[in-house]
Structure 1
Amino acid sequence: MFSWMVWTTPVAVFFSCIVVMLALMTLWETRAPSVLRKGFLPIATTRGDRLFIGLMCAAWINLAWVGLGEKMAGWFSLADEPSVWISFVVSMLVLALILRKG
C-alpha cells in the first residue's frame, strides 16, 4: 500500500511526531478547551489553529530542504546533500515557536 513512498528513518520520525502531536493535542483539548488569543500571527488563534499553521510551516520547510538539497551541495561545495535531520530539527523549532508565541 505504501510502496510508492520512500520510508526512510527521518520520514518515519517526522510522521510519527505528527501523529503523537495530534493525539496529545486532542487529549489536551478535551481536558482544557482552548480560547482565542493573539500572538505574533496576524490573526487570533486557538491551540489547534496554531498546530495546523505550524505543521504547514514544518511541511514547507522540509519540502524546500529536500528540493534545494542538491543545489545547496553545489552552493556550499559539499560532498553530499545536507542531512534531512537538519530540516527536521529546524521545522520542529519553528513549530514549537508558532505553538508557543503564535
Structure 2
Amino acid sequence: MAWMAWTWPTAIFFCVIAALLIVFTVLAIKFPETPRKGILQIETTRGDRLFITLLGSAFINLAWLAMGFGPQPYAMIVCFIYALAVFRWV
C-alpha cells in the first residue's frame, strides 16, 4: 500500500466496494432477477440500485463536507438511510 500512500480507511473503503461487487455478482448468478419499476418509473436491477446508492452516497458525503455539518460518521448514517430507501423504492 505504500506506493500509493493509502490510508487504512481508504483501503477498507475500496475493499468494501469490491466485496459488494462480488456479493452482487454471486447473487445475480444464484438468484437471477427481473428488472422492476420503482418510484422513478425506470426498470432497475440490484446492480443498478447499488450503483445509484454508491453515486448518491458520494454526493451526500461531498455535500456534508462542503456544508460543514459535523463529523463524517453522521453522513454515513444518512447514506445508510438513503441506501435503504433506494433498495426499497427505486
TM > 0.5 fold call: yes
In structure 1, what is the Cα distance between the partners aligned to 2:67 and 2:38? 31
Identity of aligned residues (%): 35
Give the structure with the higher percent helix: 2
Q: 1:86 corresponds to which residue?
A: 74
Q: 2:51 corresponds to which residue?
A: 52
Which gives a bigger RCO, structure 1 or 2 (Cα 8 Å, sep 6+)? 1
The CA deviation at 1:8 is 6.5
Amino acid across the alignment from 1:37: R
Cα-Cα RMSD: 2.0
> Conserved in 2, the CA contact under 8 Å of 1:14 and 1:88?
no
Q: Which has the larger radius of gyration?
A: 1
Query: After superposition, what is the alpha-carbon deviation per residue over 1:41-82, rounded to whole angstroms, capped at 9, x for unaligned?
Result: 23111111111111110111011111221xx4xxxxxxxxx1
TM-score (norm 1): 0.71
Q: Given the superposition, is the C-alpha separation of residues 101 and 17 from structure 1 closer, same or farther in structure 2, using an over 3 Å criterion?
A: farther
- Count how many residue pairs are aligned between Structure 1 and Structure 2: 88
**Larger CA deviation: 53-62 vs 41-50:** 41-50
Amino acid across the alignment from 1:38: K
Q: Which stretches in structure 2 are left out of the alignment for 5+ residues?
A: none
Q: Which stretches in structure 1 are left out of the alignment for 5+ residues?
A: 73-81
